[in-house]
Amino acid sequence: MTERGKILLLHGGVLLALFAAQYLLPAYHANNLARIMVLAVYAMGYNIAFGYTGLLSLGHALFFAMGMYGAGMAVWLVEWTALPAIAMGLAAGAVAAGAVGLLALRTAGVSFMIVTLMFAQAGYLLILYFARYTGGDEGFVVEAFGRRPFGLDLVQDGPRYAAAFCLFAVALAGNLALVRSRFGRVMLAMRENEARSRMLGYNPFRVKLLALVISGLYAGAAGAFYAMLFGYVGASFAMVQYSILPLLYTLLGGAGVVLGPLLGAGLMFYLIDIASGLTSAYLMVVGAVLVVLVLFAPKGLLGALRERGLKWLP
């Protein structure tokens, strides 16, 4: 079988399994899987910036929150319906990423990470300051009338899962097309050797800015869908932990691997869920697992598999 055939078979099989899961899993786990798919799209966007372009960011919580508040406030304050509100969330995430990138990309390495963290923290403080419009620390509930795209009631489990699956399927197809395109190869070249890429005629600032905007679009889409599917928008989603989570998902599943964010998000979600049911010190369990991962699979689970035989994994 050709490399392209293997890639299509693997990713098509994953989508088929996710589609079938809603009919096979109990309601609790199906709802968890819907949440995991949305978070995986968020991590997929982070993977575009970090895994493929080499941009270590701690500011993605800002893009996620912009998508969430863009969609949620469009319903709460302007009484828009679901589709225009989601479009607003996508645009908010991409615009925020572009604005941050124009300034932060003038730095590199640790300085870039710190600057993006500062922007994310500023965004969180602005949410608290403008509590009249954002709901402040308490947040707000997205009204049911704004959660009915195409007549589907996202309050119900079935339509919620279907919407999460559609988001993930579109995001996965877009991510595959991106990383296998000419621009995807340029991103990889920029990650591996920026100086040599510049010698070949590519502008690092433009390439990184576009990659960051695409990453912000993914994060904004995840935030907008999270608000619509689960009906709540809150300042906690703009805190620094929501910048660290997609990094952990990506590292656990495999940075620079398309399916890495899905595997990482699923494993981390259930690791926290199970560990928190066993002990109040569940973060110690999570930390121990991450230490073992760094020691024995520093490129993540799928990254390790790619190194040991599956060279065709995109």
The per-residue pLDDT for 5 is: 84
E strand map for 33-79:
none
Q: In sequence order, what are the residues at sequence separation of 6 or more whose Cβ sits closer than 8 angstroms to the Cβ of residue 253?
A: 43, 259, 260, 261, 262, 263, 264, 265, 267, 300, 301, 302
CA 38 to centroid of chain Cα atoms: 7
Strands 140-141 vs 232-233: parallel, antiparallel or unpaired: antiparallel
The enclosing H or E element of 167 equals: helix 157-179
Positive or negative torsion for Cα 230, 239, 121, 52: negative
Residue 309 — very low, low, confident or very high, per pLDDT cuts 50/70/90? Answer: confident
Residue range 246-299, pLDDT digits in tens = 999 999 999 999 999 999 999 999 988 888 888 887 888 888 888 888 788 888
In terms of Cα–Cα distance, which of 220, 225, 116 is closest to 166?
A: 225
The answer to whether the beta carbons of residues 240 and 58 sit under 8 Å apart is: yes
DSSP 8-state assignment for residue 143 = P
Q: Other CB atoms closer than 10 Å to residue 58's CB: what's the count? A: 20
In terms of Cα–Cα distance, which of 14, 18, 46 is closest to 250?
A: 46
Is a pLDDT exceeding 80 seen at residue 1?
Answer: no
Residue range 53-86, pLDDT digits in tens = 999 999 999 999 999 999 999 999 898 999 999 9
CA dihedral 272, 276, 278, 281 (to 10 degrees): 100
| Encoded tokens for 86 | 């989601």
Whole-structure pTM over 0.85, yes or no?
A: yes
Cβ-count burial 177-214 (b if 16+ within 10 Å, e if not): ebbeeeebebbbbbbeebeebeeeebebeebbbbbbbb
Q: Other CB atoms closer than 10 Å to residue 17's CB: what's the count? A: 10
CA end-to-end distance (rounded Å), the chain: 16
Residue range 85-137, pLDDT digits in tens = 999 999 999 999 999 999 999 998 889 999 999 999 999 999 999 999 998 88
Residue range 203-248, pLDDT digits in tens = 999 999 999 999 999 999 999 999 999 999 999 999 999 999 999 9
Give dist(CA 229, CA 163) in Å, integer. Answer: 8
The per-residue pLDDT for 116 is: 95
**Residue with the two structure tokens 């995986």:** 40
Q: What are the boundaries of each domain within the chain?
A: 17-238
In terms of Cα–Cα distance, which of 281, 254, 258 is closest to 267?
A: 254
Residue range 144-185, pLDDT digits in tens = 888 888 878 888 989 999 999 999 999 999 999 999 999 999
Positive or negative torsion for Cα 70, 75, 80, 84: positive
